[in-house]
Structure 1
Amino acid sequence: MASTDTHKVAILTSPQEPNAKPTFSVQNLPRPVPGPNELLIRLSVTSLCGSDLGMALGHMGPVGNILGHEGVGKIAALGSNVASLDPTVEIGQRVGVAWLRDICGVCPFCVDIANEGETRCAEALHSGKEAYPGTFAEYTIVPLRYLARIPPAFDGVPDEEVAPILCGGVTAYKAIKGCRLTPGQWLVVSGAAGGVGALAVAFAHAMGYRVIAVDAGATKEAYCKSQGAEHYVDVTSGEDAGKQVRELTGGKGAKAVVITATAAAAYQKAFDMLGPFGTLMCISILPEEAKVIFHPLWMIDNGWTVKGSSVGTRADILEALEFVKRRVVIPKVKWGTLEEVEGLMDKMSKGQLESKYVLKL
């Protein structure tokens, strides 16, 4: 039995290189100790995100050896200054531990309140990077300044449904919100059977949009439609995906295409799916060498907009959780353990995962 001064973690042991196969070692390490302005969180669950694979493969720059950024838990200990700085913080409160651990609050991004620029903070600290190990662990540290509380109003939402919203879910929700559509308009989700993609389909449907799911393989159709997709386009069918989308929309094309697929081809083909004044919303992260080709006249003649969305604020997380609370979005989860991270990551790299995997800690 592990000492009470240690905790179980999954350590990334493979090189952070694009062609590497991510490998992990489950170990008992010293339990972290919070600094004066920090909190110790005892995590109950963490879910597996596509970004964890990208981090393991070096697509997001250097990272630490403890990944994970969709954790839910309760405050286990307070730093020495916390009680005086914020007396409302108490041991036992439920919190989320997401991609953003801390922001500077003063850079040009953070002070741009209109664009909610904190998600792009120039000095941000992230889970699994910089100073904060990720959530593939029983315990982790969070700073008081950027504490993501889960209010009692969400007590009825179980941890395993909160966790997927902390990154994948809020990323999907914020991106769709950023498309600024009118309910009833057509929206395409490319990579619709993946973790973020399936949540994007569910949120878009719940927000009143008509959703066309795009992915590879006929077997994914039923899953995408169960999330709220009205139509499914299989890019491996031999038919042109852009043509199919135009036909399904009565020749108009989609008002927005949200890219969650991690392939340059998905971005390239999206231009064929857009209708007049459509928005191409970029979410998925590609390797640095990946390129997408466009001609400026496409934007000029069609009035297209290309935008990117980066996770969401703490307020966005609570907005997204309202959909879950009302049961109009229900994350489809499967259970796993830290010992299964390596195998799950391998399946993810091959596009073989459906649903969000939640690891019980």
Structure 2
Amino acid sequence: MKAGQWDAQNKKVVINDIPIPELGKDQLLVKIKSASLCHSDLMSLARGHGDTVTMGHEGAGVIEKIHSSAEGKGFKVGDAIGFNYFINVCYECDGCQIHNSRCENTNLPMCQGFHTNGFFQEYVLVDYHTAVVLPPEIDVRRASPLFCAGITAFNAIDSCELHPGQWIAIVGCGGLGQYAVQYAKAMQYNVIGVDISDDSLDSAKEYGADAVFNSKTQADTYVDEIRKLSGKGVHAAAVFSGANAAFDGAIPLLRTNGLLMVVGIALEPLQINTLDLITGRYRIKADSTGVPRRMSKAVAFTAKNNIQLNVDFRKIEDLPAMVDDMKNGKARQRQVVTFD
């Protein structure tokens, strides 16, 4: 089968022919229908791998085979499914109820696409614990971004615990932010998009944002304008950017006791004023893709509200160019590899 891999020795993306994997305990053999490129994949390449590994941690596909140990777990051959990417964990301990990277019963949690083969290949092995059957409203050929970007965005917006009519700022309106705008509107919040890219802000408007502001070109005015528009500041600001400046710029947007939702992975430690926290200037929470048991709620909400991104369909041979486009800021839509 074809696989898009990171060649660690030569530091480049290559397309290789590799064997179709053999089923093991608790596993499903899945024919990939869509796999998408995420900024986290580029972060992984920057860190480097010791071995050549198939890239990609956002995937969706159709079950081809089921190991006997995974029978009777709610899946059947032919089901369209999406899946998380953490494996080699117990899924049951206290740590796994929070995040699978915190598993208390293994010293080596693994991420498919980072530590072991991921989803830019024609067939993949999926632990049934991480999988969910897709409702018919979700097209498996464009579903892969949901299984990192989408679920992360849903969890973050859902965890803000706002009420209809309250205000939320989506700071960083790239792929995750565009999902977040749609989820926030579906939850009946007033949504403000903030970014330094007019293209990203145009997309946020397309997905329903009530107002958008460029924090670079409107640097002197956007905070006051947002505070005026929202009454006295937004009730929550969810930061989907990894830029430290995005976090610093989000705090002034908040009203007293507003919520700073941390989603983006900042390159440097955040500067937090503890006096602000103890006096109720603002609160802090954080969220991510989370654990498999949270996926069903996100998937059902996505299907009910017809939430999806515009995607750029590509072939596996395009993966090197896809990576270059993302590195160079040329990717305007989520890039999705499909297999026939």
Is 2:127 aligned against 1:143?
yes
Q: Which residue of 1 aligns with 2:14?
A: 25
Is 2:261 aligned against 1:281?
yes
Is 2:174 aligned against 1:188?
no
Residue 97 of structure 1 contacts residue 135 of structure 1 at CA under 8 Å; is this kept in 2? Answer: no
CA distance in 2, matches of 1:63, 1:178: 37
**Matches for 1:28-107 after TM superposition, within 5 Å:** 28-58=17-47, 65-83=53-71, 86=72, 89-101=75-87, 103-107=89-93
Is 2:271 aligned against 1:293?
yes
Q: 1:63 to 1:199 in 2, by over 3 A?
A: farther
Q: Which residue of 2 aligns with 1:3?
A: none
Is 2:118 aligned against 1:134?
yes
After superposition, give the CA deviation of every residue in 1:260-294 in whole Å (9 maximum; x if it has no partner).
Answer: 1121111111111111111111111233xx13222
TM-score by length of 1: 0.84
Share of identical aligned residues, percent? 27
Q: Tell me how far 1:12 sits from its aligned partner.
A: 0.9
Is 2:256 aligned against 1:268?
no
Helix, strand or coil: the match of 1:46? strand
After superposition, give the CA deviation of every residue in 1:97-124 in whole Å (9 maximum; x if it has no partner).
Answer: 32334531343323xxxxx414553344
Instruction: State the AA in 2 paired with 1:126.
Output: C
Residue 73 of structure 1 contacts residue 95 of structure 1 at CA under 8 Å; is this kept in 2? Answer: yes
CA distance in 1, matches of 2:177, 2:50: 26
Residue 186 of structure 2 contacts residue 305 of structure 2 at CA under 8 Å; is this kept in 1? Answer: no
Helix, strand or coil: the match of 2:143? helix
Instruction: State the AA in 2 paired with 1:185.
Output: Q
Helix, strand or coil: the match of 1:136? coil
Instruction: State the AA in 1 paired with 2:287.
Output: S
Is 2:9 aligned against 1:12?
no
CA distance in 2, matches of 1:174, 1:27: 35
After superposition, give the CA deviation of every residue in 1:13-35 in whole Å (9 maximum; x if it has no partner).
Answer: 2579xxxxx73101111111112
Q: Tell me how far 1:213 sits from its aligned partner.
A: 0.4
Helix, strand or coil: the match of 1:286? coil
Q: Which residue of 2 aligns with 1:259?
A: 239
Residue 119 of structure 1 contacts residue 311 of structure 1 at CA under 8 Å; is this kept in 2? Answer: no
CA distance in 1, matches of 2:147, 2:65: 22
Q: 1:104 to 1:205 in 2, by over 3 A?
A: same
Helix, strand or coil: the match of 1:30? coil
Pairs aligned (count) = 334
Instruction: State the AA in 2 paired with 1:179.
Output: C
Helix, strand or coil: the match of 1:325? helix
Q: Which residue of 1 aligns with 2:149?
A: 168
Helix, strand or coil: the match of 1:204? helix
Is 2:141 aligned against 1:156?
no
CA distance in 2, matches of 1:223, 1:348: 17
Is 2:185 aligned against 1:205?
yes
CA distance in 2, matches of 1:210, 1:62: 46
Q: 1:184 to 1:351 in 2, by over 3 A?
A: farther
After superposition, give the CA deviation of every residue in 1:46-98 in whole Å (9 maximum; x if it has no partner).
Answer: 12222212222229x98962221221112222335444xx3754322222132
Q: Which residue of 2 aligns with 1:4?
A: none
Q: 1:51 to 1:147 in 2, by over 3 A?
A: same
Q: Tell me how far 1:177 sits from its aligned partner.
A: 0.9
Q: 1:355 to 1:320 in 2, by over 3 A?
A: farther
CA distance in 1, matches of 2:78, 2:285: 40
Q: 1:63 to 1:197 in 2, by over 3 A?
A: farther
Is 2:94 aligned against 1:108?
yes
TM-score by length of 2: 0.89
Q: Which sections of structure 2, spanning at least 5 residues, go unmatched? A: none
Q: Which sections of structure 1, spanning at least 5 residues, go unmatched? A: 1-6, 17-21, 111-115
Instruction: State the AA in 2 paired with 1:159.
Output: V
